[in-house]
Structure 1
Amino acid sequence: GSELNIVCLGATSKCEERVLRDTKCWHELGLMFPCVRIKLWMVGPEVSKRAVLHPKSVGDLARDLGLPPNMEVRTQRIEPPCFSAFHARHVDELGPHNTLLVTFNGGFGSFVDTGNSDLLWSWYDDLCDIADSGIPAMFTCANDYADVTGETIVQSMLVGTRFVQAPTANPYHSGSTFQGEGGVGDKWFCANHSVYVIQGCIEGAR
């Protein structure tokens, strides 16, 4: 049967990995696509090594997590730029035909609000390599007043990516919203509030 690689970039042990351990959210992928072999990759500098998740094997880990039989999970702890190093290791098995990249609340557009672009530049090389790979990539943002605005500027003007799906409100966002103490008009954050998808880049745009 067919295989789908879902690569979660910037995953952490306290967030995406914890959801995998403590809930059945990730399991739904295998249940939604029972005829597809799904390989879930969690990649980033803050994700646990596989030996920490389970000391034996990928198969033992899948059984302990109660994953559907058509699904397995792998972790790769890589320092930034994460995608570049990860893709180099797996370039022969991961491509636009069988892979989706996912980044939850990357936050590299927050410079619009904070004035600090350090996070943006820590992502920049990876964003360029993601676009150049031609692999479709989905990004979520925690708000629309800064993250969406900033990431749209970065993706369109600095990276030159093609938008497959323009930024839009995500109906499956977090059930809670963090509101600052300043009252009306203050900062707020809601995980996965907005979503957009890019694939490839526009020639000469970078």
Structure 2
Amino acid sequence: MTNRSVGNAERKLLLFDGHALAFYSWFTSYPNEVVPGFFTMLEDSIEEHNPSHIIVTFDPPPPTFRHRLYPDYKANRPPAPEDLLEGCEHVRDRLDDLGVTFCVAEGYEADDVIGTLCCKASMAGFDTVILTSDLDLLQLVTPVTTVEVFSQYWPTKQFNVQAAKRRFGGIEPNNIPDYKALVGERSITLRPGLI
């Protein structure tokens, strides 16, 4: 599962929102576990997409730059269970053992890192597939970047430009942040009209 052994001649980057994938694995398993579900989804995605490169991103401990800009950011969310955070550590250890690149950037959430990597990959000529549970990442969809959104409530959905526009009522993907700033986002306690 290392980048060297993936063996795809095309330039295709598979970006995983590791924090979202860990939460999904935790909350959809009984008893609650992170590692088995995480690696099942990782391996299935690698098999499906045959990427030339793989990067898994994780959230750092708070605060992030958004908390400093807007103290109420995600204030309505309970803290993550301690066992889940320990499971994330085990996942990172196993990724390291397997030679899979992962990234944690202090002060920046996993999706911020995904956005940066996605833009750099596009400039370097890569096609990119992002795997996440966060619909906010649809703002990154372009002709060379697709987003696959997983949920415990529906099968994984793949979003290209047309599908992302349909999801947001015809809005271009790169305009999704403006739309959310105008209408608000309850899940992160962003009030309408607040920028």
Normalised-by-shorter TM-score class: 0.3 to 0.5
Provide the TM-score with structure 2 as the length reference: 0.41
User: Comparing both chains, which one has the higher relative contact order based on Cα–Cα distances under 8 Å and sequence gaps of 6 or more?
Assistant: 2
Q: Greater Rg, structure 1 or structure 2?
A: 1
Structure (1 or 2) with the greater helix fraction = 2
Structure (1 or 2) with the greater strand fraction = 1
